[in-house]
Amino acid sequence: MGLTKQYLAYRAIDSFNIITSGRSNINFVIYNKIEGRYVVSATAENVILWDLRLGERVLTLRRDKQEVTALRVSPDRLHVAVGYNDGVVDIFDLTNPQQSLCSLALHKSAISILRYDEQGIRLMCGSLDCEMVVVDVVEQAGRQRLIGHNAPVTDAHFMERFNEQSIVVSSSKDTQIKFWNLETQFCFKTIVDNRTEVWALAFVGNLMMAGNGESTLNVYRIKPRDTQAEQAIEMAVEGLTIDDEDTISPISVTNCGVIQRAGKGRCVNLVADASERVISCHGTNDLIENFYICSEEEAKKRLAKRLKKARKAEDNDLEADGAKELSLSDEIKRLESIKVKQKIKSIDILLGARDELRVLVSLANNTIQLYSQEASFKRQKSAKEETVKLLRSINRQGHQSEVRSVCFSSDSLAIGSGSGESFKFWNRDSMQCLRTVACDYVLCSVFVPGDRYILLGLKSGKLLIVDVGSADVVEEIPAHDNELWSIALLPDQKGCVTGSSDATVKIWIFELIDSPEEAMDVDEEENVSKLKHGKVLSLLHKNTLKLEETVLCVKISPDMKYLAVGLLDSTVKVFFLDTFKFYLSLYGHKLPVLCMDISYDSSLIATGSSDRNVKIWGLDFGDCHRSLFAHDDSVMGLQFIPNTHMFFTCGKDGKIKQWDADTFDKIITLPGHIGEAYSLAVSANGRFLVTCGSDRCLRLYERTSEPIVLQDIQEEEREEIENQQLATGEDHAVPLLPGLKLASRKTVGSEKAAESILECLEICKQYEVEEDEKPELHPLMRALNVKNPQDFILATLARIRASDLEESLLLLPFSNVCELLERLPAVLAQRSDEIELLTKVTMFLFKVHMKPITGAKHMKPLLEKLIKSLKRDVGALRDVIGLNLHSLALIQHDIEEREGVALFHEATQEKKKRDKKRREGIKRQLIQMA
């Protein structure tokens, strides 16, 4: 079938203007072995690494379509785990950021929290679906799924204190804090003394702080269970009841008080630094509060000072025995709070040398700020001294509010964008901000011919003339009384027309006037002639058209014949431009027309409305050629591609679509915005497209030389819709296991993997014939470069993603499971080097289908054979690893003796210090209990 009409595809280049998203958190990261200079922040569906010193984007971690909702940097600061709105977690390597290391489909809802353990081997993932999953980062697969919360999970931590490696602590909006045992996957302790939602948790030493919906922080003291053994025995001897929950709990948790926050409202975030000396928190306002955790000696000094004050005051009540013990106020010292100018979305802290605390803040106005503060126990702040300093701020690279208007210069080299507080000029190639003009709320904008000036229509009804070179407002014209919704240039490039909510349309003519003379200081002795200032642009009001309804958009036909006006009464009225005589009324929309455009030959007019439809009209008779259901919400922007009858539309559903006004076909749907799309602009040469939306992104698209066929595009869209629906349903259908909850989620990838296993088994059957009758190699076997069924089975299993392996095995019918198990001994005998993968497959199939396998008599010899093979190969692998380990230790010993150096001395010393610190902490707690 030949091509009847050829279209060229538009492809997304990149997005810019966004610095940080408010939905996700922000983290420090080590890049190029430098700490404290680089940070990662979520920007819609991407994650950007920013250089705070230069204020520039260093690299971008990309994934299509889904919004980033959580991120976490690994303890070595080299990897970033990113959680998305669809429940998927991607792990990126900062040294190779082009593609993620692994993609894990774990949840059905958005990821709310990600947390690594101390070694960075395990990753805790909490979600809005009220569940948590523990991921083995090395294996790249989920290990445990924890189910028990009744509301979205807000925070989670690995509790590796007291050498408890298998305990996880989580908080939720159901007001509960739960302690989980990862070995049993059950909750063994629940704290229910919070009256409101628990939003954040933080651990320092043996203290746990919980931020809830009130203006206080609850503080709990955690102790290992064995320190309470004697007390529990005494209570049992005395006949007191012991709580059953406490008898199985390896730890003891007691509430030791509250900390009153200065900020009002709920606590949003609690962050502790790596050394656990400082905790920072913030609420829904603009205040960051910092708390210093005192050591044992510092706490005793604060206690002695408090008792000394009490003795001076001769307060006998404070001399009681309770006052002589360490209290929460002695252990926790409040540092100076940091006041910012906007609402805070997320924070991260880093404690550096000389007790310098660096606080990283992401604000609601698309800004990142870095503050410095001294976090010291000894130093006292003087009255005039400022201890909090603003070191860096990234705000120039983006608007501080949503962008409502975009436009291209006539040479397509510059992009203009207007928002609620400013107007910015961007370089199209580098996507860097060139100029910023502070102004009021911008609703529409257009470059004046020549690109030296730009016209801005404001919400107040004023019309601004801005000089592009100097970024100064040349003139402010009170053009209208209410919102100025639309500006359109006259095709002869001699003026413009504006439409406003005051039900008027005004025509303006460009004119050049002398710029106002500036007062200058001139030496009296010098004869300085009067400076001649250049001309500047101004507008001369020519005519006014008064209407009965609010004007939402205006357009002039390229032949200078007609003026089209979109009104609030859902109609478009067309007038003759020279006389304002009424010509046509285009009615058919059910809701107001928000955007429209006229084709280059003045034959077609396309209108977009709040009723989600786009109508194509003939401008000669006003007949409606076709009505297209274009978007799932209001159509916000519409513009023809120059010299064609194709046009782009954008809507509040966030989608960007291209249409053909001759055949009324939808050509392509471009990857759009997360949220609403507000406006679009096509360059004068038709090569570029820029859009803006509620996700604060400006998205740039470029026309490529790649031809597209409508049937292929439609087929791809249908396949994408089908792929989003699982053929086998959402639940795990396994007989006798109705409550099976794997630490993974069924995806289209796992269904395709199951199909590949079934196909592999079917092909292997063809080779169970005699040597003379064997068929030629199957095309799939040739593609995988294998020559026998055993290698084919192994290659098929190895190609399945680790996160999809269990789900794909779960989808196999029991007859195929038995067939696969029967073929595994031959694979083990031939490829013992892949013992890890084969053992994983065997053990999982045994666990899931244990009862029917043990009930089948013909499977008993197979089981004995498999167990024997697995034990032999695993033992051999263990012997090899042990031999290599001790050989390396012997080589290290020889090198150290011969050269007189200690290998890995720094790492060994750091580990010894950590172990010593942990032992001293446990010993100190035992002394306090005694």
Tokens matching residue 432:
């860097």
For residues 715 and 926, give the distance between their C-alpha atoms in angstroms, rounded to a whole number.
Answer: 69
Contact indicator for 652, 634 with CB cutoff of 8 Å: yes
| pLDDT score, position 735 | 55
Model confidence pLDDT, tens digit, residues 78-128 = 899 999 998 899 999 988 888 888 888 888 899 999 999 988 899 999 999
Using alpha carbons, select from 118, 17, 21 the residue that is nearest to residue 70. Answer: 21
- Residue that the structure tokens 């010299």 belong to: 643
Which pLDDT value is given to residue 768? Answer: 72
* pTM of this structure: 0.83
Cα 667 to Cα 79, 95, 642, distances in angstroms: 40, 39, 16
Strand segments, DSSP code E, in 352-441 are 356-363, 367-374, 389-394, 405-408, 414-418, 422-427, 433-438
With contact defined as beta carbons under 8 Å apart, do 820 and 757 qualify?
A: yes
Residue 675 DSSP one-character state: S
The residues near 447 (Cβ < 8 Å, ≥ 6 apart) are: 407, 408, 409, 410, 414, 416, 453, 454, 455, 468
How far is the CA of 763 from the CAs of 523, 796, 837, 870, in angstroms? 97, 12, 21, 26
Q: What pLDDT is recorded for position 397? A: 87
Q: In the CATH hierarchy, which top-level class contains the domain 148-225+249-260?
A: mainly beta
Handedness of CA 456, 458, 461, 465 (dihedral sign): negative
pLDDT score recorded for residue 523: 43
Closest C-alpha among 23, 12, 195 to residue 112: 23
**The predicted structure's pLDDT at residue 642:** 92
Q: Where are the domains of the chain?
A: 148-225+249-260, 266-302+328-397, 748-855
CA distance 347 to 369: 10
Token pair recorded at residue 295: 């050591």
- 274: region left, alpha or beta (phi > 0 left; psi from -120 to 50 alpha): alpha
Are the beta carbons of 212 and 266 closer than 8 angstroms? yes
Q: How far out from the chain centre does Cα 435 lie?
A: 28
- Structure tokens, 103: 């993609």
- For residue 432, the one-letter residue type is Q
pLDDT at res. 598? 94
d(CA 560, CA 644): 18
| Phi, psi of 216, deg, nearest 5 | -130, 160
Q: Quick: pLDDT tens for 642-652.
A: 999 999 999 99
No. of helices (H) and no. of strands (E), the chain: 14, 57
Taking the C-alpha atoms of residue 269 and residue 590, their distance in angstroms, rounded to an integer, is 46
Amino acid at site 398: G
Supply the pLDDT for residue 101.
Answer: 87
In one letter, which amino acid is 505? V
Tell me which residue of 462, 455, 461, 466 sits closest to 496, measured CA to CA.
455
DSSP line for 98-157: TS-SEEEE--SS-EEEEEE-TTSSEEEEEETTSEEEEEETTTTEEEEEEE--SS-EEEEE
The reported pLDDT for the residue numbered 918 is: 64
Task: Please give the radius of gyration of the chain, using alpha carbons only, rounded to the nearest integer.
Answer: 35
Structure tokens given for 503: 């039900």
Cβ(571)–Cβ(590) under 8 Å?
A: no
Distance (Å, rounded) from C-alpha 862 to C-alpha 296? 63
Contact 689, 8 (CB under 8 A): no
> Alpha-carbon distance 803 to 115, whole Å?
19
Residues of the chain with pLDDT under 50: 1-2, 227-228, 230, 232-245, 317-322, 383, 518-532, 924-930
- Of the candidates 171, 122, 159, 172, which has an alpha carbon nearest to the alpha carbon of residue 142? 122
Give the pLDDT confidence score for residue 731 in this predicted structure.
63
